[in-house]
């Protein structure tokens, strides 16, 4: 999660503990997660068919693959060639870079691939909050 996500989560938990959500309409009732009221009526059937078939738009499929590649690269030991040959790691990095470029061209943020910066900020803020 990002820093803003952590901050929001912390405030939500505090509000839950204070009981601020118990008076909201719909409290205790199941969520309607398949609400398609924002989709035009003439497209709803097609959207529902694609969703039920497991179809993802190209950008989301690329994002999913990029996340899988990033996780795979994190688990590979960079210093020990026994875990993955150099050319295999290079191919993975190139594939990840290509996916990142495709996502950026499609207007999708690729910040999710660069969480090391977020982790450094989170650590810095958590240290400054203890003072």
- Give the model confidence (pLDDT) of 41-85 as tens digits: 888 888 888 888 888 778 878 888 888 888 777 776 555 556 556
At 48 the pLDDT is 85
Q: What is the mean pLDDT of the chain?
A: 79
| pLDDT, average across residues 8-36 | 85
Are 92 and 45 spatial neighbours (Cβ–Cβ below 8 Å)? Answer: no
At 51 the pLDDT is 83
| Pick from 45-49, 74-78, 107-111, 124-128: least confident | 74-78
At 14 the pLDDT is 92
Are 66 and 110 spatial neighbours (Cβ–Cβ below 8 Å)? Answer: yes
Are 47 and 39 spatial neighbours (Cβ–Cβ below 8 Å)? Answer: yes
Note the pTM of the prediction, 2 decimals. 0.44
Go through 22-50 and write b for each residue having 16 or more CB atoms within 10 A of its CB, e for each that does not.
eeeeeeeeeeeeeeeeeeeeeeeeeeeee
At 40 the pLDDT is 86
Whether the per-residue pLDDT at 23 is higher than 70: the answer is yes
In the chain, where the domains are located: 45-119
Whether the per-residue pLDDT at 2 is higher than 80: the answer is no
Are 94 and 74 spatial neighbours (Cβ–Cβ below 8 Å)? Answer: no
């Amino acid at each position: 999660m990002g820093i803003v996500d952590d901050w929001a989560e912390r405030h939500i938990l505090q509000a839950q503990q204070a009981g601020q959500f118990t008076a909201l309409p719909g409290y205790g009732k199941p969520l309607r997660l398949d609400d398609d009221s924002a989709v035009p009526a003439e497209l709803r059937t097609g959207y529902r068919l694609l969703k039920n078939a497991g179809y993802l738009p190209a950008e989301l499929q690329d994002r999913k693959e990029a996340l899988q590649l990033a996780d795979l690269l994190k688990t590979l030991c960079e210093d020990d060639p026994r875990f993955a040959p150099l050319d295999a790691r290079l191919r993975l990095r190139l594939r990840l870079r290509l996916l990142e470029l495709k996502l950026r061209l499609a207007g999708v943020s690729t910040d999710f691939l660069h969480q090391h910066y977020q982790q450094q900020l989170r650590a810095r803020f958590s240290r400054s909050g203890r003072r």
